[in-house]
Chain A
Amino acid sequence: MNTASHQWPFVIAAYGLVITVTLMALFGSWYQMRRAEKRLMKLNQAKQDLPRKA
């Protein structure tokens, strides 16, 4: 029953799952960070552009 041809699909499924989820999590956290830092930079810029009180 447990011949190599029966076992390879399980191996490929496990590797595929780990590689896909890890890359997605890595990219997701990088994108979330980049978006938050850009938003903060824009706010800082907007604050600098505000007319100062006399």
Chain B
Amino acid sequence: MIRLANPHFFLSLSRKLTPWLGLAGILFSLAGIIGGLFVTPPDYLQGETVRILYIHVPTAWLAMGGWSSIALASLVQFIWRHPLAGIAAKAMALPGAIFTGLCLMTGSIWGRPTWGTWWEWDGRLTSVLVLFFLYLGYIALSRSVSNYSTTSRIPAIYALLGAVNLPIIHYSVLWWRTLHQGQSISLTHSSIDPSLLWPLPLTLIGFSCLFALMTIFRMRYLLAHAQYEARLRRMAAL
């Protein structure tokens, strides 16, 4: 863990991981998308719109997973003050915001033919919208804290406070009356028929690999940018 936190070790590991993550991300996503679009049967109630599930669920998983990872990295930064953890948290913010936006939009596109409305102010939808605004706030805050500083703890505190929204999203379907259906998949049980379910793990793995790849690209960008700025300052001081 300490070795991984070394920027040089991280850079060499990330260069080795990049092609594998890219290949796995594209292959798994493609298999899941083809399976979801052309192979699985339509649902007896939802009809063809059930196919949106195969891309909506991974985006929702990455929206929540992204913020959980930001909060975890922020905790590591907060306790051990390791700058790479701060960079990892900042790097995950943009992909997290993108996938949260996609989750809201695909949910809205699914809702129109199924519920008859694009949007409903219910617990699940509103709490995910709050998560989207939290992401935007985090991006704005981390950019405003002087020049990609890796030592500032303000975004880390914000990320930890924002994590309060995660259990609210998860339990919103139980706490409030909502149009959104309850939990249909858990670690041990699924109420979805296997003939409809199988492309979902494929898109989940595929999109997670692409998210990880985006995070690695952005971490390398932030590291290169920080090094560039530091060298410029050093050269100016000479």
Contact with A along B94-117 (1 / 0, CB 8 A): 110010011001100110111000
A25 touches which of B214, B221, B225 (Cβ 8 Å): B214
Number of A residues, CB within 8 Å of B: 29
B52 contacts the other chain (CB 8 A): yes
Known contacts A6-B113, A7-B47, A22-B210, A29 near B228 by CB under 8 Å: no
Interface size class of B (residues with CB under 8 A): 35 or more
| B interface, over-half SS | helix
Known contacts A14-B110, A25-B214, A43-B231, A33 near B59 by CB under 8 Å: no
Q: Which of A1-24 contact B (CB under 8 A)?
A: 2-4, 6-8, 10-11, 13-15, 17-19, 21-22
Interface centre among B42, B95, B220 (most CB of A within 10 A): B220
Assess whether B232 is in contact with A11, with CB atoms less than 8 Å apart: no
Assess whether A40 is in contact with B106, with CB atoms less than 8 Å apart: no
Residue of chain A at shortest CB distance from B37: A15
Contact with A along B15-50 (1 / 0, CB 8 A): 000000000000000000100010000100001110
CB neighbours (8 Å) of A18 from chain B are 55, 59, 102, 106
A10 touches which of B49, B59, B225, B228 (Cβ 8 Å): B49
Separation in Å of the A47 CB from the closest CB of chain B?
7
Point out residues on A near B: beta carbons under 8 Å. 2-4, 6-8, 10-11, 13-15, 17-19, 21-22, 25-26, 29-30, 32-33, 36-37, 39-40, 43-44, 47
